[in-house]
Amino acid sequence: MTPANDPIRLINLSDIDEKIYAFRGVDCIVLTQDNKIILQKRGDNWNRFPGYLASFGGQIEAGETSMQALIRELNEELGAQVKESDVISLGAVTEAVTGHTELIYVYFWQDLHGTITGCYEGEVRYYDNIQDILACPKVMDDTRWALNECITRKLLPVNL
């Protein structure tokens, strides 16, 4: 069990009813066709976590599965054409910053076919080195966790 003060809790979905969470969303670590990690910097005028680096994703809408929401969000935010078979689930987490009341399904996807057409939310940031991301003081906790999980699973090398 994760201590209460940990920024991230990994959630075993077989043990809970996901509908108990006030918010359910998706986030995804995206690797471009040319092996760059792409993140978004939230604007300084954003209501939640202004100026933070974040992965791409958003809220699961009524009637959607987490995978359907991910595919929709990556299309809306990056113009990406995502195939479900190319997506890897990293797990479901909650964050201390929200009092662990929001459930986030976290994924990894590499744009092997070069379908990303732009960044339509936040300011795009490309990284060649994971350490440069992790050294930033304002990185969303779930993004930091997901990057470390990608390293652990060998989905991303420490140095791209």
CB atoms within 10 A of CB 159: 9
Look at residue 8 and tell me whether its pLDDT is greater than 80.
yes
Look at residue 5 and tell me whether its pLDDT is greater than 90.
no
What is the helix (H) or strand (E) element at residue 108, kind and residue range? strand 102-110
What is the helix (H) or strand (E) element at residue 141, kind and residue range? helix 141-152
Is the torsion defined by CA of 19, 20, 22, 28 positive or negative? negative
The three-class DSSP label of residue 98 is: helix
Give the pLDDT confidence score for residue 17 in this predicted structure.
86
Give the pLDDT confidence score for residue 18 in this predicted structure.
86
Domain boundaries, the chain: 31-152
d(CA 123, CA 106): 21
Give the pLDDT confidence score for residue 150 in this predicted structure.
96
Query: Per-residue pLDDT tens for 47-80?
Result: 888 999 999 999 999 999 999 999 999 999 999 9
The three-class DSSP label of residue 90 is: strand
Give the pLDDT confidence score for residue 1 in this predicted structure.
33
Using the structure block, give the residue that is written with the tokens 């744009």.
Answer: 111
How distant, in Å, are the alpha carbons of 33, 87, 133, 157, 160 from that of 129?
A: 15, 22, 7, 9, 6
| Tokens standing for residue 43 | 């604007």
Give the pLDDT confidence score for residue 148 in this predicted structure.
94
Query: Per-residue pLDDT tens for 91-138?
Result: 999 999 888 999 999 999 999 999 999 999 999 999 998 999 999 999
How distant, in Å, are the alpha carbons of 40, 52, 56 from that of 47?
A: 15, 11, 17
31-152 falls under which CATH superfamily? Nucleoside Triphosphate Pyrophosphohydrolase (3.90.79.10)
